[in-house]
Amino acid sequence: MGPNFGDSLMAKALFQRNQKVWVESVGAWSVIERIVPIWARGFEEPVRVTYDVGLGREFQAHELRAEQDSADVLPEDGTVWRLLRARNKWQSPEDCAHHPLPGTYPVVVTDANDWGGWRVPGAEYDRDPAKLELQARLMASAPRLLALARSLAAIVGEAPEDAPPEIRALAEEALKVDRYLKEIPAAAQPAPAEQANDAA
């Protein structure tokens, strides 16, 4: 019996439903909402599998990357902020064709459970979607950028005399930003008159 050339056409799902994936062409994290097998007559398994991640079209496996495959620089505490896409409930994709990804808007999540973080009102997003897409990506990248800044400052700090003046200046700016982030305002103290009233 000859080789079964159909076996080479069989496709297996590489990702699971609800799995977080990086969508290369969009440059954002999303979640697999649906696995879509493509069947052909005469085959017992799908010949191709695509993935619906809620971005208006289906993606093939080579366009996606699993979360654990990411080799990004991570902060010391492992903080990872993610850019996800939420469905636009106020406008249909046809009504917002001028948006980068019609029918969705960016959401930056800062918690491991995909809540907490930053969202933009729909009307504000509609006014300047390109600006807000950039802001969302910048916010999602903030922990990694901070880790890079701290690494730069630490490297220069080990041998400042060996670093070019431009690099020393960058390291100093990185330290200023780091100090600013660590300066958490204290709770307001009550005024002396309020303290006297409380004591009475």
Average pLDDT estimate for 139-146: 88
Higher pLDDT, 91 or 142: 142
Q: What is the rounded distance in angstroms from the CA atom of residue 8 to the CA atom of residue 174?
A: 53
E strand or H helix at 60: strand 58-60
Least confident of 5-19, 73-87, 120-134, 155-169: 5-19
Q: For 178, list phi and psi in degrees, rounded to 5.
A: -60, -45
The residue with tokens 């807000």 is: 132
According to DSSP, residue 173 is labeled: H
Distances (CA, A) of 16 to 19, 39, 60, 104: 5, 18, 13, 22
In a 3-state reduction of DSSP, which class is residue 19?
coil
Q: What is the pLDDT of residue 168?
A: 94
Report all structural domains of the chain as residue ranges with CATH numbers, in order of start.
10-69 (2.30.30), 82-182 (no CATH)
Report the distance separating Cα 21 and Cα 32, nearest Å: 7
- Tokens 């001028």 sit on residue: 98
Give residue 175's Cα distance to chain centre.
Answer: 25
Per residue in 54-110, pLDDT (tens digit) is 888 899 888 888 765 444 445 666 667 888 877 788 888 888 888 887 888 888 888
DSSP code string of 78-140: ----EEEEEE-SSS-TTTTTTSSSTTEEEEEE-STTS-SEEE--HHHHHH-HHHHHHHHHHHH
- The torsion angles phi and psi of 85, rounded to 5 degrees, stand at -110, 135
Check: CB of residue 58 under 8 Å from CB of residue 48. no
Q: Are 46 and 38 in contact (CB under 8 A)?
A: yes
Please provide residue 69's backbone torsions phi and psi, each rounded to the nearest 5 degrees.
Answer: -80, -10
* Amino acid, res. 128: D
* Tens of pLDDT, residues 16-63: 787 888 887 777 888 888 888 888 787 777 778 889 998 888 998 888
> Residue 18: what residue type?
N
